[in-house]
């Protein structure tokens, strides 16, 4: 047999050789042999490059050939090295500290520093540089690392030593607590359209999780007037080249140097007032084009940032073409601490392969984020080949050690052993805390309420027990859907009434279904503005019974789904047998001022009379909302729709139907509302509002539980929702005719108090509330509230403006978590 080699083999061999890649790697140090962390390494006249790691080590894969490799880092002289690559080789680089010359610029005594002229030119060019690229795509690699730097052995009874050992930290409770990498394809179209596709994801210590590193989250653009870093800073941070930057910053000219034929000016920026929401550090501006060449900023606790004490941000740019420069890398470094815990870490993003002329249409950006289930399945060989920033020895060890722990944690024996320890039942513990029995492997969860917190007091039932238990199970791991069933049982020790109810929530395709049935004693205000716990306190200690109740036996069904995009719809049907109740207990611990309890009828407080006749009700309600958004994120578990920058409008129609299952009601109520939370108000914080109006189109037969009711407040402790009133009576201004209400809240986010020494350290947010209600019975009721907020706690002073008993003022405390 004659053996011949096909011609196609030579073709394949040729292309295989042509496609072969080699690696240039090494270490970037200064002239004292100290590593330069996160130095940038790029091929001249291309957008291919990488970044060194935190120990100065780098690696870059290229095809064989000759390359002009540029090494640069903020504060160091750029170095270019022509390298012929025929095979992989090691190239160590030493960067010299950059020397910036004053270029014969003379600063006269009392004269303006030359930095101001440069900054003025940069401000003039700001909008040009902001808008010079209409659209682009690029590839982004992001690495995130968070370390525990110090921690106590125990904290508030919690065994920190044991927990950190199980996390893979060392015996001193130090080490990496989060390490992840991701690669994304990022697309942008002006003004604000973004699409990101997660190509690969790796999280140390988990084989199932997806990295939450996102290119859109680490994007910064100092050509914007402000940087809004929600969660980190309550206030928008002012860019040093913002239109109004001269009001906020001082500038000092450090000098100039030349790189790639361009003159680079180094300017030191500092806040005029140390507690303004401003950056400190250095900005590098190119002569003539007046664009940002690089920056190295930081902010501290003086800027009232949350979670961390110091945050550093560094960004470097490179020319993608003659007209446009784009970020080559962005790095965030942070340190912080709370009590005895100290943390530190960084996030770095490296950009490559820019395309400034992509073909897009607006529909391409309805999907903002795409995460496929395959993105976290890439093996170690893939990452060794694709990772642009080499791992440090510590990071390699962390991946290896936590991969073993992850495999162990996912095994049934381990999960069962963990459940065995955590599922220990104690009747004593159940008295004051909830019990949760978990089967992690089967994704089943059993819950029992704590007994003592389930005991309440009101004048209708006396001391009463309202105890609950529930069971939930994951029924679809792909979409993360759960089945939930539960039951509540209650007993009033004074009125001798036994109550109980069952409920279930079941996902069914795109619908969320719920069923509730039973007999319960409930608030006559269906908004439940006063909690049973708060009413218990006021009744027993102040002898003030604000809560008014009635009994209903009922069966209800509800369903909801997303129609499309930002359009939601839900429906509800309920049959109920409703009975008025009277007080059955006169007990209290104390009786300040010899008060008498009021009756259970808010309209006849001096004597008990039925608030409404016993009746049966059959009602149907439908509601639809639309927020003008078609944007969503796609995950392996399904879509998550994003809220719009526009307000949400809602429409609700409720009909009480007579003679169905003995129903006595006959009414039609139509309501409409428009609302929006956390509207960006620039340096003045955030604005939220809610406006609602409605009318009973037919009120032939309406009972008090069917009235349109409002979230009032008559006690010190109140809710914090946008459509809550500060001083309104809980019940007496409900209506069966028509109404209009409005609520506006301005959160100044520290704009005022941050300017006051000592107080600024409290990180308080100033709150201004205006509430309005008008009904035929209550005309032009208005409230003005001022106060402060810290985290989820709020202290407010409110004053109402109306007439007679509706004119009031009081302090309110709200909290939400």
Report how far residue 403's alpha carbon sits from residue 398's, in angstroms, rounded to the nearest whole number: 8
**Beta-carbon contacts of residue 413 (< 8 Å; ≥ 6 apart):** none
Q: Which of 20-24, 348-352, 723-727 has the lowest mean pLDDT?
A: 20-24
φ/ψ of residue 403, rounded to 5: -65, -40
User: In this structure, is residue 383 part of a structural domain?
Assistant: no
DSSP secondary structure, 586-617, as one string: ---S--GGG-----S-TT-TTS---SS--EEE
pLDDT, position 160: 86
Domain termination site, one of 63, 94, 125: 94
Q: Which residues pair with 773 in a beta bridge?
A: 741, 781
Confidence class of residue 8 from pLDDT cuts 50, 70 and 90? very low
Q: Which whole number is the average pLDDT over 597-616?
A: 96
Q: Which domain holds residue 522?
A: 449-542+549-597+614-664
pLDDT, residue 411, reads 79
Residue 495 · residue 462 · CB < 8 Å = yes
Q: Check whether 337 has a pLDDT greater than 70.
A: yes
pLDDT of residue 12: 33
What's the distance, CA 386 to chain centroid?
A: 31
Q: Is the domain of 642 the same as that of 714? A: no
pLDDT score at 22: 86
pLDDT grade, residue 508 (50/70/90)?
Answer: confident
Residues 698 and 745 in one domain: yes
Query: Does the residue 453 lie in any domain?
Result: yes
Residue 210: the pLDDT is 65
Cα separation, 741 vs 727, whole angstroms: 14
> Residue 6: what pLDDT?
38
Tokens found for residue 92: 């160590």
User: Phi and psi at residue 105, in whole multiples of 5°?
Assistant: -80, 130
What is the distance between the alpha carbons of residues 240 and 247, in angstroms, rounded to a whole number?
10
Taking 70 as the threshold, does the pLDDT of residue 108 lie above it?
A: no
> Which among 505, 476, 501 has a CA at the least distance from the CA of 490?
501
Same domain flag for 579 and 696: no
pLDDT tens digits, one per residue of 636-668: 888 889 989 899 999 999 999 999 999 999 999
- Average pLDDT score, the chain: 90
Least confident of 146-155, 204-213, 343-352: 204-213
pLDDT at 205: 76
Instruction: State the pLDDT at residue 110.
Output: 64
Question: Are 572 and 702 in the same domain?
Answer: no
Residue 479 domain-assigned? yes
Per residue in 218-271, pLDDT (tens digit) is 889 999 999 988 878 888 999 999 999 999 999 999 999 988 888 999 999 999
State mean pLDDT over 695-712. 97
Q: Are residues 717 and 801 in the same domain?
A: yes
Q: Are residues 628 and 706 in the same domain?
A: no
> Hey, what are 144's tokens?
């995130």
> Is 657 found in the same domain as 708?
no
Residues 725 and 808 in one domain: yes
- Count the neighbouring beta carbons within 10 Å of the beta carbon of residue 452: 10
723 plus 650 within the same structural domain: no
578 lies in the same domain as 649: yes
Instruction: Identify the CATH number of the domain in which residue 58 sits.
Output: 2.60.40.10
Express as a percent the part of the chain with pLDDT over 90: 64
| Mean pLDDT across 195-204 | 92
557-568 pLDDT, tens digit per residue, is 999 999 988 999
Q: Which residues pair with 352 in a beta bridge?
A: 139
Q: Check residue 209 and give its pLDDT.
A: 60
Is 318 part of a structural domain of the chain? no
In the chain, the number of structural domains is: 3
Could you read off the pLDDT of 425-480 as tens digits, one per residue? 888 889 999 999 999 888 899 999 999 999 999 999 999 999 999 999 998 776 77
Residue 141: inside a domain, yes or no? no
Q: Which of 73, 94, 115 is the last residue of a domain?
A: 94
- Looking at the structure, tell me whether residues 501 and 592 fall in a common domain: yes
Query: Could you tell me if residue 66 is inside a domain?
Result: yes
Of 61, 78, 94, the residue at which a domain comes to its end is 94
User: H/E/C letters for each residue in 27-68?
Assistant: EEECCCCCECCCCEEEECCCCCEEECCCCCEEEEEECCEEEE
The top-scoring range by mean pLDDT among 225-239, 755-769, 778-792 is 778-792
Q: Residue 104: pLDDT above 80?
A: no
- Does residue 7 register a pLDDT over 50? no
> What per-residue confidence (pLDDT) applies to 620?
98
Give the pLDDT confidence score for residue 376 in this predicted structure.
87
Confidence check: pLDDT of 214 > 90: no
What pLDDT is attached to residue 357?
92
Residue at 775 is within a domain: yes
Domain co-membership, 519 together with 558: yes
148 to 167, 300, 342: CA distances (angstroms): 11, 19, 6
* Residue 430 lies inside a defined structural domain of this protein: no
């Amino acid at each position: 047999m004659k053996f011949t080699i096909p011609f196609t083999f030579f073709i394949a061999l040729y292309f295989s050789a042509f496609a072969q890649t080699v690696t240039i790697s090494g270490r970037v140090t200064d002239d004292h042999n100290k590593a330069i962390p996160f130095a940038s390494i790029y091929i001249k006249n291309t957008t291919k490059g990488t970044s060194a790691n935190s120990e100065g080590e780098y690696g870059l894969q290229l095809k064989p050939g000759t390359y002009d490799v540029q090494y640069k880092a903020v504060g160091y002289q750029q170095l270019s090295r022509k390298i012929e690559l025929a095979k992989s080789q090691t190239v160590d680089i030493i960067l010299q500290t950059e020397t910036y010359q004053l270029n014969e610029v003379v600063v006269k005594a009392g004269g303006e520093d030359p930095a101001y002229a440069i900054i003025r030119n940069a401000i003039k060019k700001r909008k040009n540089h902001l808008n010079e690229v209409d659209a682009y795509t690029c590839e982004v690699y992001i690495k995130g690392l968070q370390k525990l730097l110090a921690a106590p052995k125990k904290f508030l009874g919690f065994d920190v030593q044991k927990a950190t050992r199980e996390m893979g930290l060392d015996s001193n409770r130090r080490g990496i607590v989060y390490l992840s990498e991701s690669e994304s394809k990022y697309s942008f179209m002006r003004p604000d359209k973004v699409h990101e596709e997660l190509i690969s994801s790796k999280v140390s210590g988990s084989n199932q999780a997806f990295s939450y590193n996102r290119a859109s989250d680490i994007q910064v653009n100092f050509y914007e007037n402000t940087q809004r870093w929600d969660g980190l800073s309550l206030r928008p941070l002012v860019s040093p080249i913002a239109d109004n930057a001269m009001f906020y910053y001082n500038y000092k000219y450090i000098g100039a140097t030349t790189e790639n034929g361009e003159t680079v000016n180094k300017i030191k920026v500092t806040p005029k007032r140390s507690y303004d929401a401003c950056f400190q550090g250095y900005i590098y501006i190119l002569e003539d084009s007046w664009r940002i060449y690089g920056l190295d900023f930081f902010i501290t606790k003086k800027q009232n940032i949350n979670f961390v004490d110091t945050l550093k941000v560094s960004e470097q740019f490179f020319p993608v073409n003659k007209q446009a420069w784009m970020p080559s890398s962005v790095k965030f470094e942070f340190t912080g601490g709370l009590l005895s815990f100290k943390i530190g870490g960084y996030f770095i993003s490296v950009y490559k392969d820019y395309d400034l002329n992509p073909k897009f249409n607006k529909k391409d950006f309805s999907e903002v984020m795409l995460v496929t289930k395959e993105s976290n399945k890439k093996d170690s060989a893939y990452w060794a080949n694709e990772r642009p920033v080499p791992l440090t020895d510590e990071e390699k060890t962390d991946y290896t050690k936590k991969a073993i722990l992850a495999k162990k944690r996912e095994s049934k024996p381990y999960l069962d052993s963990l459940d065995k320890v955590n599922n220990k039942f104690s009747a004593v513990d159940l008295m004051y805390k909830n019990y949760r029995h978990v089967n992690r492997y089967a994704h089943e969860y059993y819950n029992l309420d704590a007994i003592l917190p389930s005991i309440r007091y009101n004048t209708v039932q006396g001391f009463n027990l309202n105890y609950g238990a529930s069971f939930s199970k994951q029924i679809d791991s792909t979409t993360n859907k759960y089945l939930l069933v539960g039951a509540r049982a209650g007993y009033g020790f004074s009125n001798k009434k036994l109550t109980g109810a069952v409920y279930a929530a079941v996902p069914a395709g795109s619908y969320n279904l719920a069923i509730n049935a039973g007999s319960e004693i409930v608030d006559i205000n269906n908004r439940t503005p006063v909690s049973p716990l708060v009413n218990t306190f006021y009744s027993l200690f102040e002898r003030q019974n604000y809560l008014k109740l009635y009994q209903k036996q009922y069966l209800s069904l509800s369903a909801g789904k997303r129609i499309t995009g930002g359009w939601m719809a839900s429906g509800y049907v309920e049959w109920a047998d409703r009975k008025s109740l009277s007080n059955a207990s006169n007990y209290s611990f104390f009786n300040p001022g010899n008060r008498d309890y009021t009756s259970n009828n808010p309209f006849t407080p001096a004597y008990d009379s039925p608030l409404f006749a016993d009746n049966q009700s059959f009602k149907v309600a439908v509601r639809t909302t639309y927020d003008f958004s078609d944007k969503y994120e796609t995950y392996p578990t399904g879509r998550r729709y994003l809220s719009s920058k526009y307000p949400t409008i809602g429409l609700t129609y409720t009909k009480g139907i007579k003679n169905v299952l003995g129903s006595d009601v006959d009414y039609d109520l139509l309501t409409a509302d428009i609302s929006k939370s956390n509207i960006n108000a620039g340096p003045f914080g955030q604005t939220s509002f809610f406006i609602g109006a409605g009318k009973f189109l037919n009120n032939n037969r309406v009972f008090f539980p069917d009235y349109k009711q409002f979230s009032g407040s008559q006690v010190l402790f109140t809710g914090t929702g946008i459509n809550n009133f500060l001083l309104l009576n809980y019940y007496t201004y409900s209506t069966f005719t028509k109404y209009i209400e409005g609520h506006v809240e301005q959160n100044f986010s520290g704009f005022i108090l941050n300017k006051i020494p000592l107080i600024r350290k409290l990180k308080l947010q100033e709150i201004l509330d205006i509430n309005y209600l008008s009904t035929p019975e209550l005309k032009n009721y208005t409230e003005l509230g001022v106060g402060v907020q810290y985290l989820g706690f709020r202290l407010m002073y409110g004053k109402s403006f109306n007439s007679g008993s509706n004119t009031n003022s009081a302090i309110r405390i709200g909290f939400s978590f």
